[in-house]
Amino acid sequence: MDRDENRKPNKPIYLFPILILFLAVSFTIITRTNLCRIYLLKSTFLHRPNFFQSLSKFLHSNPNPNPIPKQNEIAEPNYCVLWMAPFLSGGGYSSEAWSYILALNSHNKKQKNPFFKLSIDHHGDQENVEFWEGLPQEMRDLAIELHNTECRLNQTVVVCHSEPGGWYPPLFQTHPCPPAGYGLFKVVVGRTMFETDRVNSEHVNRCNKMDYVWVPTDFHVDTFTQSGVDPTKIRKIVQPVDSDFFDPFRVDPMDLDPLGSLVLGSKGSDSRKPFVFLSVFKWEYRKGWDVLLRAYLKEYSSGDDVALYLLTNAYHSENDFSNNIVDFVESSDMEKPSDGWAKIYVIDQHVPQVDLPRLYLAADAFVLPTRGEGWGRPIVEAMAMSLPVIATNWSGPTEYLTEENSYPIPIVGVSEVEQGPFKGHLWAEPCVDQLRILMRRVVMNRDEARAKGAKARLDMVRRFSPEIVAEGIIDHLQGIVDVFH
Ligand SMILES: *[C@@H]1O[C@H](CO)[C@@H](O)[C@H](O)[C@H]1NC(C)=O
Ligand SMILES: *[C@@H]1O[C@H](CO)[C@@H](O)[C@H](O)[C@H]1NC(C)=O
């Protein structure tokens, strides 16, 4: 059945770019690139006549009239939003920032009198030439256009969308944000989030230098407040999910057969399509892949008509996922069922962003027993695709998981983060036994699963579609500039 036939996708401009971007972002292997090409990138993007130049002219001019060049300046709109983020890096903040920019740009294009001009600058992370070169031309054009949009300092809302260590003065080498410290701009906003139960004190101090701190969920409103961020500065600004791109009626499911390598279990001769669980994550402990394997392999065996597909990519250098899985299973206390292990496939090849909706659609359920998420983008993408999702009811996802639209996994408690920058913080331990129950229930009770999936899409469209999120941001910005008038 070709579901595309009756429905001409009526996609706003940002859709195409957003899709390419996300994959590029999520599944690009970030490689070190040679300096010459980096330099080229910097000279095409970073060193164009831009905001920094008007800023430095402003800073170095004598207090004479017209410190800012007049050319290109249009009286309308009055305000400017300068969004500074790792636009050229790929990675989580990069794709998030692009999703906001594309939503805001598309919204602006539809307005007769946009409330603000939009400008962007790269900040917060190394540029990645492969990432930039992998972007579609219209997206690069947009980046350059927005980058070259000039703003008056006193009419600019600067959004620093990055890890607070990059905020002025930065703890590592990056364009600082705000570009020349606090006080020159109309308003400065920090946009960040964390995956654990708290914000460390260095980050708290940095947040408190901002006029506003935007976080994506109520979980973060709480953890930031409890950690000492000034509650009058904190605002919840949710993240958009491109529900026109992630639309189950727009695409046909992908054929998973050629995509996954079988890591555990055997295919058998049965040609029926099994019930497919899909999980999408970066290979790191935080994502709870150990919990997922344990629950799935304890609940199911070879005789069950199910398969688990893992779309994963490397975190740091570890990328031999198949061996990791086999090693984990062999060194665990799990006993091989008499009829053999249930099937697990790993998809470790690049799935182009344009194919992601088709990948989700090939699954019957999405599962991610994560220990902590800022937002949980694959979860909301799966929900926009009307999949029933099973995901941990803790941290970012509590913003959108409900009993009606998903299968929230209860947690058994919190545990201490043992390594990395958040060592000593707490995150959640999802309950393996509850996950087993939910992974059984979604297979046994298809009508319920379908109903939850349908509700999931409704909720995603209603709350997180780009237009809705853009409107929310603009309302908030209007409020901000009024307050700071
Ligand atoms: C910004 O500064 C310019 C002069 O530098 C002034 O004409 C304008 O009114 C100021 N705008 C705001 C919003 O303060
Ligand atoms: C999810 O957790 C929240 C507390 O963080 C709780 O209020 C809610 O009832 C939980 N939802 C489910 C479905 O367990």
Q: What is the mean pLDDT of residues 310-339?
A: 85
Ligand 1 nearest atom to the CA of residue 152, by list position:
1
Least confident range from 60-64, 459-463, 466-470: namely 60-64
Ligand 1 atom 4 nearest Cα: 66
Select from 55, 152, 482 the residue to mutate for testing ligand 1; criterion: most ligand atoms less than 8 Å from CB. 152
Q: What is the pLDDT of residues 338-385, one digit of tens each?
A: 999 999 999 977 787 778 999 999 999 999 999 999 999 999 999 999
Q: How far is the CA of 456 from the centre of ligand 2 (A)?
A: 16
Instruction: Determine the pLDDT at residue 43.
Output: 52
What is the atom index within ligand 1 of the atom nearest the CA of 79? 13
Q: Which atom of ligand 2 is nearest to the CA of 393?
A: 1
* Ligand 1 pocket list (CB less than 6 A): 152, 154-155
Residue 334, pLDDT above cutoff 60: yes
State percent of the chain over pLDDT 90.
66
In the reported structure, the alpha carbon of residue 408 is separated from the centroid of ligand 2 by a whole-number distance in angstroms of 8
Distance 470 CA to ligand 1 centre (A): 26
pLDDT at 314: 67
Q: Give 383-439 pLDDT, tens digit per residue.
A: 999 999 999 999 999 999 999 999 999 999 999 999 999 999 999 999 999 999 999
Ligand at minimal distance from the CA of 157 is 1
Interhelix angle 92-109/15-27, nearest 10 degrees:
170
The span from the CA of 135 to the CA of 129, in Å, is: 10
Q: Which ligand places an atom closest to the C-alpha of 218?
A: 2
Pocket around ligand 2: residues whose beta carbon is below 6 Å from it? 393, 398, 403, 408, 410
Q: How far is the CA of 128 from the centre of ligand 2 (A)?
A: 39
Whether the pTM exceeds 0.75: the reply is yes
CA 394–ligand 2 middle distance (angstroms): 8
pLDDT band with cut points at 50, 70 and 90 for residue 70: very low
Q: Which residues of 163-201 are buried (b: 16+ CB within 10 A; e: fewer)?
A: bbebbbebeeebebbbbeeeebbbbbbbbbbbbbbbbbe
Mean pLDDT of the 290-310 span: 97
pLDDT score, position 4: 40
Q: Which two tokens stand for residue 116?
A: 């603000």
Instruction: Please state, as a whole number, how many other Cβ atoms lie within 10 Å of the Cβ of residue 423.
Output: 10
Residue 255 burial (CB count, 10 A) = 9
What does the pLDDT read at residue 320? Answer: 81
- Ligand 1 atom nearest to CA at 154: 1
**Each residue of 100-140: pLDDT tens digit?**
999 999 999 998 888 899 999 999 988 888 888 878 888 89
Higher pLDDT, 360 or 28: 360
How far does residue 154's CA lie from ligand 1's centre (Å)? 6
- Which ligand gives the minimal distance to the CA of 485? 1
Q: Indicate if the pLDDT at residue 92 is higher than 90.
A: no
As given in the structure block, the two tokens for residue 166 are 């990059």
Higher local confidence (pLDDT), 375 or 20: 375
* From 398, 403, 455, mutation site for ligand 2 pocket: most ligand atoms within 8 A of C-beta: 398
Q: Between residues 102 and 19, which one has the greater pLDDT?
A: 102
Question: In this predicted structure, what is the pLDDT of residue 363?
Answer: 98
Q: By three-state DSSP, how is residue 62 classified?
A: coil
Q: How much distance in Å is there from the Cα of 403 to the middle of ligand 2?
A: 9
* Ligand 1 mean position, distance from CA 338 (Å): 77
Nearest CA to ligand 1 atom 3: 154
Mean pLDDT of 266-295: 91
In which band, very low, low, confident or very high, does the pLDDT at 20 lie, cut at 50, 70 and 90?
very low
Q: Which pLDDT score, from 0 to 100, does residue 15 have? A: 39
> Would you say residue 62 has pLDDT above 60?
no
381 CA distance to ligand 1 middle (Å): 43
Distance from the CA of 381 to the center of ligand 2, in angstroms? 21
Atom of ligand 1 nearest to the CA of 68: 5
Residue among 131, 151, 36 at smallest CA distance from 86: 131
Residue 6 has pLDDT above 90, yes or no: no
Domains of the chain in sequence order: 17-240+465-483 (3.40.50), 261-464 (3.40.50.2000)
Q: 120, 101 in Cβ contact below 8 A?
A: yes
Residue-wise over 257-284: b if at least 16 C-beta within 10 A, else e? eebbeebbbeeeeeeeebbbbbbbbbbb
What pLDDT is stored for residue 66 in this prediction?
39
332 pLDDT above the threshold of 60: yes
Nearest CA to ligand 2 atom 10: 393
Distance (Å, whole) CA 424 – CA 183: 35
Q: What pLDDT digit, counting tens, does each position of 166-176 carry?
A: 999 999 888 89
Q: Are strands 116-122 and 187-191 parallel, antiparallel or unpaired?
A: unpaired
* Length in residues, the chain: 485
Which residue among 151, 153, 154 is best mutated to probe the pocket of ligand 1, counting the most ligand atoms within 8 A of its Cβ? 154
Looking at the CA of 397, name the nearest ligand.
2
Structure tokens at 88: 């050229």
Give 409 Cα–ligand 2 centroid separation in angstroms. 9
Q: Whose CA is nearest to atom 7 of ligand 2?
A: 398
Determine the Cα–Cα distance for residues 399 and 393; give it in Å rounded to an integer: 9
Handedness of CA 346, 349, 352, 353 (dihedral sign): positive
Q: Which ligand is nearest to the CA of 78?
A: 1
- What's the CA-to-centroid distance between 473 and ligand 1, angstroms? 23
- Three-state DSSP state, 153: helix
Q: What is the pLDDT of residue 316?
A: 52
Q: Does residue 227 carry a pLDDT above 70?
A: yes
| Ligand sitting nearest the alpha carbon of 394 | 2
pLDDT for res 355: 87
